[in-house]
Structure 1
Amino acid sequence: MGFPLALFLCTLGCFSASTAIAGISGILELHFYKTSCPDAEMIVREHVTRSMLTDPSSAAPLLRLAFHDCQVDGCDGSILLKESSNSLEIEAQSQKNFGIRKLDIMNNIKSSLEEVCPQTVSCADIIQLAARDAINLHLQAGGPFIKVLTGRRDSISASKKRAENQLPASNISVNEFAKIFHEKNINLQEGVALIGAHTLGIGHCRNFEERLRPVSDPTLSPTFSLQLQTVCSDPSLADVAFAQNDATAFIFDNHYFIDIQNGRGLLKIDSEIATDPRTMPHVIAFGKDMQQFFHMFTSGFLKLSSHKVLVGEEGEIRRDCSFKNS
């Protein structure tokens, strides 16, 4: 049985930003495709809605796709490329992209858009619009509806090496994460909010098992540590065994910030931002006020998704998100 789309829209409020951001030879703007492909955003939303209804876990990988695309040379759709000068060196092959999934949704969206608006909507924009909708589309409690700017163009290359160098490690420190976000003009409060994306999804044992043995990380609560040790008891299954990021792993809410204050941070960075004096006040504030978390997450997301984009005549608009145009 289907659910009316209206139930999903702006469930807990909408946030906006500037209607345009200047690029090198063009701009990102709100509703960039309103003339060239008026139904573009609706088509993206319909695909994401269907995916979320059939697989509630879709939100986390869609949001991760957006973050990982933007982190490597900017938001340019490079993470979707399946070929480069060396097919073994594509971005998705990086170990730091382990577990990346839902690329099929991007391809399905692109196919639908190509039928109505050939070579018009970029794969880079599709990634960001899908992430926007994944955040917002929830039956129980939707996250903010972010007014994502569009007009990005697609890169014509991808690099496993650049992905390895630019994607953050699973054991990143507060200092390292602050530096990464500072380079994108994202302040500490916005950065903590963006890490709050860990409110969705799971973490594989390979990314946190070093916190469990030979001795348990003292920042983990004893009960939580025991649970994780049980889940990750077989090292040979570290790539498949997993734990939820927080107690409400299918819902975009502020429960993550409550959990990490109680020693239930899955990754090292989760525990560190809850205790570091620079970030702890923001963790406490977001745990008390979900709307403040939404507001700062929106601000950070808009900055991240506008970082180092290709616009104007740069790059291309791929006909197939998996391959550059011949």
Structure 2
Amino acid sequence: MGRITITSTLTLSFFLIILVYSASANNSIPKGLSYNFYNKTCPQLEDIVRATLAPVFTNDPTSAAALLRLMFHDCQVQGCDASILIDVSNSASLEPPELGAKKNFGIRKRESINQIKSRIEEECPGLVSCADIIVLAAREAVAISGGPRIIVPLGRRDSISASSSEDADASLPAPDFGVDDALSLFAKLGMTTRETVAIMGSHTLGVTHCLNIMDRLYRPSDVRGSNMDPRFEALLKFSCPENIPFSQNISFVLNDPSTFIFDNLYYKNSLQRRGVLRIDAELPLNTRTAGIVEQFAANSDDFFQEFGSAFLKLSYAGVLTGNHGIIRSMCNFVDN
């Protein structure tokens, strides 16, 4: 049994409030990862990541959601190996790599990972993987938005190839996936039901593109989980009109009103039938998850604690360590 130490940071006016947690984790750290992996070889690593991202978060408040999504999509396709960063033009395969998958539409802030990598290469050349940088950037995204500060073990290595776009689309969840799908998907990563409900709380950040909710809005008989507050439904339909198809890729709706803050409002909205996606609507209705949603809506500390554990389990998915994989010199390019 390992120990997770989590601190939550919230900025209120000029005051910084730090909440410290200590919780047991049911997941063991994969062989090759450790909490002090770079202590001797690159002790300034986390400071570099934080300093590089500070202006990114300041200039673009949507960056936190984008970096968190980047990690999720990387780790769910052949593991946390930075394969999502490999450019189409740099793929050794004749097939489009995973970045070109339909479900990777809207993936952003890959350039921020490249910026961090460039800074690290100046200080610690050839030592730090892009896979670790993605995880650290996502961790910072959660913390800077007011969520838990999660201490993550490091030591991941980068893949030498990307998955095909077809395989990536098969691995990533569909916009209309529900509770059964979520529990099955995240159980494969060792997550409990509570952790699965917590990891869905990442929807508290960011937006949802209209394209992903058109069936739910206009063809509810085809998609379960269509139960929705009528006023909220009217708002979504106003933002995502069915008769303007070309706008569905560029138009979006906020996941919740506090879209830049990592909080438990996601669960409160779900209980009020204001969930944007099908999974958001089903969580408070399913007997296996309803009580957990109510608990997280009432107590953000409980949500943060479970989210920290779930985040770690996601970050362990399919990791390459030791002699497996490489350390890329450029994150979007596989070295010869």
Given candidates 135, 145, 152, the residue that maps to 1:148 is 152
Supply the AA of the counterpart residue of 2:75. Answer: C
1:84 is the counterpart of 2:91: yes
Given candidates 5, 14, 22, the residue that maps to 2:30 is 22
Q: Secondary structure of 1:13's partner?
A: strand
- Aligned equivalents of 1:135, 1:73: Cα separation in 2: 23
CA deviations 1:29-53 (Å, max 9, x no partner) are 1131111111111111112222111
Q: 1:118: Cα distance to partner?
A: 0.8
Name the TM-score, length of structure 2 as normaliser: 0.89
- Aligned equivalents of 1:153, 1:28: Cα separation in 2: 10
Deviant stretches of 4+, over 4 Å = 7-10, 14-20, 214-218
User: Counterpart of 1:46?
Assistant: 51
Q: 1:266: Cα distance to partner?
A: 0.5
Given that 2:57 and 2:64 are in contact with CA atoms closer than 8 Å, whether structure 1 keeps it comes out as: yes
Q: 1:78: Cα distance to partner?
A: 0.6
User: Counterpart of 2:264?
Assistant: 254
Count of residues paired in the alignment: 315
- Aligned equivalents of 1:31, 1:16: Cα separation in 2: 19
Given that 2:129 and 2:158 are in contact with CA atoms closer than 8 Å, whether structure 1 keeps it comes out as: yes
Q: Secondary structure of 1:203's partner?
A: strand
CA deviations 1:52-95 (Å, max 9, x no partner) are 11111111010001111110111111110112223651111000
User: Counterpart of 1:238?
Assistant: 248
User: Counterpart of 1:66?
Assistant: 71
CA deviations 1:176-221 (Å, max 9, x no partner) are 1111111111011000100000000000000011111156975110
Given that 1:8 and 1:136 are in contact with CA atoms closer than 8 Å, whether structure 2 keeps it comes out as: no
Given that 1:122 and 1:153 are in contact with CA atoms closer than 8 Å, whether structure 2 keeps it comes out as: yes
User: Counterpart of 1:308?
Assistant: 318
Given that 1:106 and 1:126 are in contact with CA atoms closer than 8 Å, whether structure 2 keeps it comes out as: yes
- Aligned equivalents of 2:156, 2:143: Cα separation in 1: 21
User: Counterpart of 1:101?
Assistant: 108
1:111 is the counterpart of 2:121: no
Given that 1:15 and 1:146 are in contact with CA atoms closer than 8 Å, whether structure 2 keeps it comes out as: no
Q: Secondary structure of 2:284's partner?
A: helix
Given that 1:221 and 1:263 are in contact with CA atoms closer than 8 Å, whether structure 2 keeps it comes out as: yes
Q: 1:17: Cα distance to partner?
A: 6.6
Structure 1 pair 249–15 and aligned structure 2 pair: CA distance change class (3 A): farther
Q: 1:317: Cα distance to partner?
A: 0.2
Residues 162-311 of structure 1 correspond to what in structure 2 (within 5 A)?
162-214=167-219, 218-233=226-241, 234-311=244-321
Supply the AA of the counterpart residue of 1:296. Answer: E
Q: Which consecutive unaligned segments of at least 5 residues does structure 1 have?
A: none
- Aligned equivalents of 1:10, 1:303: Cα separation in 2: 27
Structure 1 pair 88–218 and aligned structure 2 pair: CA distance change class (3 A): closer
- Aligned equivalents of 2:99, 2:188: Cα separation in 1: 23
- Aligned equivalents of 1:93, 1:16: Cα separation in 2: 39
Supply the AA of the counterpart residue of 2:233. Answer: S
Given that 1:206 and 1:239 are in contact with CA atoms closer than 8 Å, whether structure 2 keeps it comes out as: yes
Given candidates 12, 20, 24, the residue that maps to 1:13 is 20
Q: Secondary structure of 2:191's partner?
A: coil
> What's the Cα RMSD here?
2.0
Higher strand fraction (1 or 2): 2
Q: Which consecutive unaligned segments of at least 5 residues does structure 2 have?
A: 1-10
Question: Which segment is superposed worse, 28-37 or 316-325?
Answer: 28-37
- Aligned equivalents of 1:163, 1:184: Cα separation in 2: 17
- Aligned equivalents of 2:318, 2:112: Cα separation in 1: 24
How many percent identity over aligned positions? 44
User: Counterpart of 1:130?
Assistant: 137
Structure 1 pair 267–218 and aligned structure 2 pair: CA distance change class (3 A): closer
- Aligned equivalents of 2:80, 2:237: Cα separation in 1: 37
Q: 1:9: Cα distance to partner?
A: 7.5
Q: Secondary structure of 1:89's partner?
A: coil
Question: Which segment is superposed worse, 121-130 or 34-43?
Answer: 34-43
Supply the AA of the counterpart residue of 2:212. Answer: N
Given that 2:66 and 2:108 are in contact with CA atoms closer than 8 Å, whether structure 1 keeps it comes out as: yes
Structure 1 pair 10–64 and aligned structure 2 pair: CA distance change class (3 A): farther
- Aligned equivalents of 2:109, 2:103: Cα separation in 1: 16
Name the TM-score, length of structure 1 as normaliser: 0.92
Given that 1:15 and 1:147 are in contact with CA atoms closer than 8 Å, whether structure 2 keeps it comes out as: no
